[in-house]
A and B are shown apart, each in its own frame.
Chain A
Amino acid sequence: MAGTAVPGRLTWELAELVEVIVETPHVKTIVLDVPSWPGHRAGQHVDVRLTAADGYQAERSYSIASALDGTRVTLTVQRLEDGEVSPYLTDELRPGEKIELRGPIGGYFVWEPSDGGPLMLVAGGSGVVPLMAMIRTRAAAGDDTETRLLYSSRTPDDVIYRDELELLSGNGLTVVHALTDSQPPGWTSYARRVDAEMLAEVAPSPAERPRFYSCGPTPFVEAVAEAVVRLGHDSLAIKTERFGPTGR
């Protein structure tokens, strides 16, 4: 339930790596087992903490990609070349090894089937991750809330979850891709950045009172939020999650 306070302080827990899935050249999904996992809602995130031998600690937040599935928690991580945490998670960590994690965290950028729709999800790059958790939660619940995902990627190779999104399409879910930098031969969908005109074409009308969730780099989310309001939607109808200039 949105607005429900979760009492108690967060504690760091050990999470064991179960499996690594290569999504794109720069993005991997890590499947973790967290024995103490209390459950989560789509859109929530976890904090991951790494501690070096000299005691130096680095902490980062990662969106949960999976629907609720017992003690399994799935994160999809974009490898940042100069990152302190992501290269370790995507390249160094081996199945059976453990990392410290706390969560689930956040209650604002969250959707549950009981919240209803229509849902309008707008993703920039790896901003698709928490929105995928919403799509997976919807599918796992057998929910048919009208849902549209407008998903902007640079190139065809950068599209995360491409096959799964195709499989899940239908039954009220429509996926529209925008490829900004390069497109495959015969590409008929959008070949530019998300703008107001594109949102007007893809999103339900203001009269249908869609719930917008947008996640991506800060400039992307800012552009989407401005366009949504300009199209006549209520500024409170859009929830945003910005992850800065380079991903997180």
Chain B
Amino acid sequence: MDDLMLDGNAIAGLLREVFAVEMTTAIGTCGRCGTPGPVGAVHVYRGAGIVLRCSHCSNTLAKIVKSDSRVWIDLTGIRALEVTV
């Protein structure tokens, strides 16, 4: 366990900025273990950037770096993202 760990809820505002829909209820499927789950429940680590990790296998699902003018997102670790529209 890491005291600095947060969950997907903590970055809901940033995700909404990027995707323009509520993302904490979106279902993401881990690219490594295949476990699906709500984005609000993934583990989140904040440093120079933001790292999202699978709550089951700790695989890196996504990395997000934000500056004043742009947001960079690496989604390599997410196999699928299901969003209610």
Binding site for B on A (CB under 8 A): 2-10, 45, 47, 61, 102-103, 105-109, 217-219, 222, 239-245, 248
CB-nearest residue of chain B relative to A109? B9
B16 neighbours in A (Cβ, 8 Å): 9-10, 105
Interface residue tally for chain B (C-beta within 8 Å)? 26
Assuming A241-B9, A242-B10, A244-B5, what are 15 further A-B pairs, CB within 8 angstroms? A3-B84, A5-B21, A5-B22, A5-B25, A5-B84, A9-B17, A45-B12, A106-B12, A108-B8, A108-B9, A108-B24, A108-B38, A240-B7, A240-B41, A243-B10
Q: Which positions 1-53 of chain B face chain A at CB distance < 8 Å?
A: 1-10, 12-13, 16-17, 20-22, 24-25, 38-41
Minimum distance in angstroms from A38 CB to a CB of chain B? 13
Q: Is B80 an interface residue (CB 8 A)?
A: no
Q: How far apart are the CA atoms of A3 and B83 in the complex, in Å? A: 9
Report yes or no: A2 in contact with B25, Cβ–Cβ below 8 A: yes
CB-nearest residue of chain B relative to A8? B20
5 CB contacts below 8 A, A to B, read: A4-B25, A108-B38, A218-B6, A241-B7, A244-B5
A61 neighbours in B (Cβ, 8 Å): 10, 12-13
A106 neighbours in B (Cβ, 8 Å): 9, 12, 22, 24, 40
CB-nearest residue of chain B relative to A43? B9
Majority secondary structure of chain A interface residues (helix, strand, loop or mixed): loop
B10 neighbours in A (Cβ, 8 Å): 61, 242-243, 248
Residue A108 contacts which of B5, B20, B39 (CB distance < 8 angstroms)? B39
Q: How far apart are the CA atoms of A95 and B13 in the complex, in Å? A: 26
Minimum distance in angstroms from A101 CB to a CB of chain B? 11
CB-nearest residue of chain B relative to A5? B21
Q: How far apart are the CA atoms of A106 and B24 in the complex, in Å? A: 6
Q: How far apart are the CA atoms of A99 and B12 in the complex, in Å? A: 20
Q: How far apart are the CA atoms of A3 and B8 in the complex, in Å? A: 15
Residue B20 contacts which of A2, A7, A242, A243 (CB distance < 8 angstroms)? A7
Q: How far apart are the CA atoms of A238 and B4 in the complex, in Å? A: 20
Report yes or no: A108 in contact with B25, Cβ–Cβ below 8 A: yes
B4 neighbours in A (Cβ, 8 Å): 218, 244-245
Q: How far apart are the CA atoms of A45 and B41 in the complex, in Å? A: 15
Given A8-B20, A218-B3, A219-B3, residue A108 in contact with residue B83 (CB < 8 A) = no
Report yes or no: A5 in contact with B13, Cβ–Cβ below 8 A: no
Report yes or no: A5 in contact with B41, Cβ–Cβ below 8 A: no
Residue B1 contacts which of A103, A105, A222, A248 (CB distance < 8 angstroms)? A222
Q: How far apart are the CA atoms of A159 and B17 in the complex, in Å? A: 35
Report yes or no: A242 in contact with B85, Cβ–Cβ below 8 A: no
Report yes or no: B6 in contact with A242, Cβ–Cβ below 8 A: yes
Minimum distance in angstroms from B76 CB to a CB of chain A? 23
Report yes or no: A3 in contact with B41, Cβ–Cβ below 8 A: no
Residue B9 contacts which of A6, A45, A103, A218 (CB distance < 8 angstroms)? A45
Report yes or no: B3 in contact with A244, Cβ–Cβ below 8 A: yes
Q: How far apart are the CA atoms of A222 and B83 in the complex, in Å? A: 27
